[in-house]
Chains A and B, each alone.
Chain A
Amino acid sequence: MRRRVVITGMGTVNPLGHDVETTWHAMLAGRSAISKNELFDASTYPTTFAAQVKGYDLAAQVPNAARHAHAGRHCKFALGAARQAWLQSGLDRFDRLDPTRLGVYLGSGEGSLDDINFTYMLAHAWKDGRCDTAKWAELGYKLLNVFREVEQESNMVVAHLAAEYGARGPAINVLTACAASTQAIGEAAMLIRENDVEAVISGGAHSMIHLFGVMGFNRLTALSQRNDEYQSASRPFDLTRDGFVLGEGASVLILEEYEHARKRGAKILAEIIGYGASADAFRITDQDPEGDGAATSMRLALADAKVSPADIHYISAHGTGTKQNDQVETRAVKAVFGDLAKKVPMSSIKSMCGHLIAAAGATELITCILAIRDQILPPTTNLSTPDPGCDLDYIPNAARKARVETCMSNNFGFGGQNNTLIITRGS
């Protein structure tokens, strides 16, 4: 008998809200969290806006915020999200969890560079068209903070959560770009299924709304440049879409072995029944135009879940709002779902909260859980001009009541790593 994996807690800090319910209400209302970039002066960038987490106070979320004072911005989001999830799971009131059987498996991004000092150093340690590394060293030791530097390693969010909850089991971080937290949750579920652990703190965190993050995506021409209509700039599946909108945040879920959760009387929010992973093996700059890799990931997840396309009531799309992704994704869904493709509702919450990169998948999985709980589907906002290449039911512009028992969530990373999760109502 295969060990079953259930979700007993969830938490989120994202541009739409600093907790699950606020976020959900905003989504169902179709609100946009996009505004002018206030995190740095991007006024001359090709893209001047982003979906930012505003007014976030770590001390309001965790009892010992001082312990994490040096943590990166994304790590502070993760600490809040994890606390919400942990309290909801009830594991804080359960004293028989063996710490060596508690894992942490995240898809967290790197921490932000110390932009101000880094650019100062490059400007002042420059000689004859090259970096004067001796001068660079001198300035570095004077200006940089050791904690801020170490916190950029992407395993540090795992370290903070392990410290907070005393985890001594497997502790892993993966960074497969936009697919990271979906992959993390999938592999975390496998750790439970394969009997390595009883519970895992899983999810993702990321913030790339900084000088080099926005620059990097702007250079790739991946971001929307709709500076005059920024609130509606994230337009997945719309003909006039011109790129994604960068967001930031963290979402964390508590995964637990079914019997373990049942015996301690935990409320089961959902069950993870399927996980699929594949690679395009195509190009670092483009997706496979046929969407074969994405389709493979979905098929593997369906097979793993032992369900058929007809059993899927909702697809949480990757839906970035780039020209390429949305067409390829549509093609891939058609390949897998056949005649059913046009009947399965699919939406992209990135239209409202932007693209949380490594944290996107975990956030989207939470909306799937809520869709099952409340029997309502979040919309794809800003979808007013249909694209002939995107002709599925994307739940345009308004949330919709529906029967929802089983959901599929897709994420496709830059570079061709594809991941799919399937969840169903907990029983």
Chain B
Amino acid sequence: MSDRRVAVTGIGVVSPIGIGIETFWKALLGGAKSVGPITQFDASGFPCRIAAQLSDFSARDYVPKDYRKAVKVMARDIEIAVATAEMAFRDSGLATRSTDEQKMQIRPKRLGCNIGAGLICSDLNELGAAINTSLTDGEFDMKIWGKSGMNNLTPLWLLKYLPNMLSCHVTIIHGCEGPSNCITCGDASAPLAVGEAGRYITRDMADAAAAGGAESKLNPMGMVRQSMLGRLCITGDADPANACRPFDRRHAGTVIGEGGGVLIIEEMKPAAGRGAKIYAEMAGHGGSCDPAGIDVLKPNAGGLGQAVKNAMRNAGVGPEDVDLIVAHGTGVPGEDAAESAQWFEALGGSAGKIPAVALTGAIGSLFAGSCGVGMAAALMAMKDGVVPPTANFEKPADDCGLNLSGKTRQADIRCAVCASFTVGGQSGACVFKKVP
């Protein structure tokens, strides 16, 4: 269709086991785990009291000096995206308005952005302080709220919570004036965003883009929602580090994490021409959905198999070509089983032989950020020829037939498939090929 190919030249990761691609990767290979008791707020009232938290993280450390003030109007999801994109651009060596404006060679209008996001939770202390100025006899009073109460919130309050702000801040900081999108498709957002951004390049709307996903549902509101869905592990207090167990016989639910991953993708020829390090070719992507996903209380893998099939067809590869599967692996028993079946649907018997990995055991569920970090891991695995361990995977659950291991494995990986699905029933997948 197009002779323009898409190279991955930069990776940025913010994860609970490490910030920055090298730190993250070293920690992952070293078997690091990050789930522990929640310290960011009093979680004693929740059935699940553990999470994979980011510690000592602020986007202030990752934005240009003259942009630090803007961090105040960034919800945590936005902070993660901004930091992740900054690191990704720096890793790529592609000069931007932020990293090296003097040396910026790419035309801003040819630089795109597409960062997946979820429903951003409001800061309850901030909103609550305003609400609590508007009480009559202890009850919320709309009339006071409208007249004066709401004025206690910053005028820019709304902008903290718009999901497109993940992309918007990144476009402003780096000077990306090309196509800019914000995919809000739950956990499926990151591969869909990277895939669509790849199309900006193949269809000649852009020459490079930042793409991925970021999210934090580590908020009392996010906790209530996920546990009402019955997705969270509520038996992990005694041994939090080992609570999230994707595809393992003792899986008992997922654990909320926070983080994200952003890739810098470029048209292959100019990237090679400027001597960029090329992690891999983003060779194809696909999406899908399962109409049954509307029943949100029933486990559903969003027709992930169809997304993988679409991505493989788009990339021109077959099951025999795939050397690595990066699974979503939420650790929710019904979801693990449904997902495993979907990989077999897409890859046939090969699904049980190809080395596979899931990251949630180490970093928890990052929702829109999950597969962003998953893709980062796939690219590093290709680069180093190793399959990272699946933390907390010991014995496979009966209905999970993927080839996972709790140990690091050596492997020559020429082609990797990453996919994720979401509550609601949508999936996305990306295929990466090693560039000889």
Task: Establish whether residues B156 and A285, one from each chain, have CB atoms under 8 Å apart when the complex forms.
Answer: yes
Interface string of A106-142 (1 = CB under 8 A from B): 0000100000000110111110011111111110110
Q: Which of A135, A152, A159, A169 contacts B294 (CB 8 A)?
A: A159
Residues on A with beta carbons closer than 8 Å to the beta carbon of B131? 119, 122-123, 126
Contact between A413 and B124, CB atoms less than 8 A apart: no
Judge if B369 is at the interface, Cβ distance under 8 Å: no
User: Residue of B at shortest CB range from A219?
Assistant: B155
| Chain B, 142-173, CB within 8 A of any chain A CB | 142-147, 150-151, 153-159, 161-165, 167-169, 171-172
- Whether, in the assembled complex, A60 has its beta carbon less than 8 Å from a beta carbon of chain B, the answer is no
Query: How far does the Cβ of A316 sit from chain B's closest Cβ, in whole Å?
Result: 20
As a 0/1 sequence over residues 282 to 314 of chain A, the CB contacts with chain B under 8 angstroms (1 = contact) are 111100000011001000100000000000000
Q: Which of B268-276, B396-404, B418-426 contacts A (4 or more CB under 8 A)?
A: B418-426
Given A158-B289, A279-B176, A284 contacting B169 (CB threshold 8 A) = yes
**Are B294 and A160 neighbours in the complex by a CB distance under 8 Å?**
yes
B185 touches A171 (CB 8 A): yes
A146 interface hit (Cβ, 8 Å): yes
Q: How far is the CA of A163 from the CA of B426 in the complex (A)?
A: 11
CB of B178 within 8 A of CB of A123, answer no
Chain A residues 303 to 337 lying within 8 A of chain B, measured CB to CB, are: none
Q: Provided the pairs A41-B143, A155-B422, A284-B168 are in contact, do residues A415 and B162 lie with their beta carbons within 8 angstroms?
A: yes
* B184/A154 in contact, CB under 8 A: yes
Known: A123-B139, A147-B296, A417-B168. Contact between A284 and B288, CB under 8 A?
Answer: no
Stretch in A10-18, A85-93, A187-195, A362-370 touching the partner: A187-195
Q: CB of B179 within 8 A of chain A? A: yes
A416 near B287 with CB under 8 A, answer no
Report the interface size for chain A: residues with CB under 8 A from the other chain.
91
In the complex, B435 has a CB within 8 A of chain A: no
Whether A122 pairs with B128 at a CB distance below 8 angstroms is yes
Q: How far is the CA of A352 from the CA of B172 in the complex (A)?
A: 33
* Contact between A141 and B224, CB atoms less than 8 A apart: yes
Interface residues in B17-50 (C-beta closer than 8 Å to A): 41-46
B contacts, CB < 8 Å to A: 1, 41-46, 70, 73, 97, 108-109, 113, 117-119, 124-125, 127-129, 131-132, 135, 138-140, 142-147, 150-151, 153-159, 161-165, 167-169, 171-172, 174-186, 188, 192, 196, 199, 203, 205, 220-221, 223-225, 228-229, 286-294, 296-297, 303, 306-307, 310, 314, 422-426
Check A162–B425 contact: CB distance below 8 A.
yes
Q: Which residues of B contact A134 (CB under 8 A)?
A: 42, 44-45
A277 to B113, CA, bound (A): 11
CB atoms of B41 and A133 under 8 A apart: yes
11 contacts between A and B (CB under 8 A): A43-B146, A120-B139, A122-B131, A137-B46, A163-B291, A174-B181, A177-B162, A219-B157, A279-B167, A413-B164, A417-B164
Within 8 A of B (CB), among A91-105: 100, 103-104
Q: Which residues of B have CB within 8 Å of A162?
A: 289-291, 293-294, 425-426
**CB within 8 Å for A40 and B142 given contacts A162-B294, A172-B183:** yes
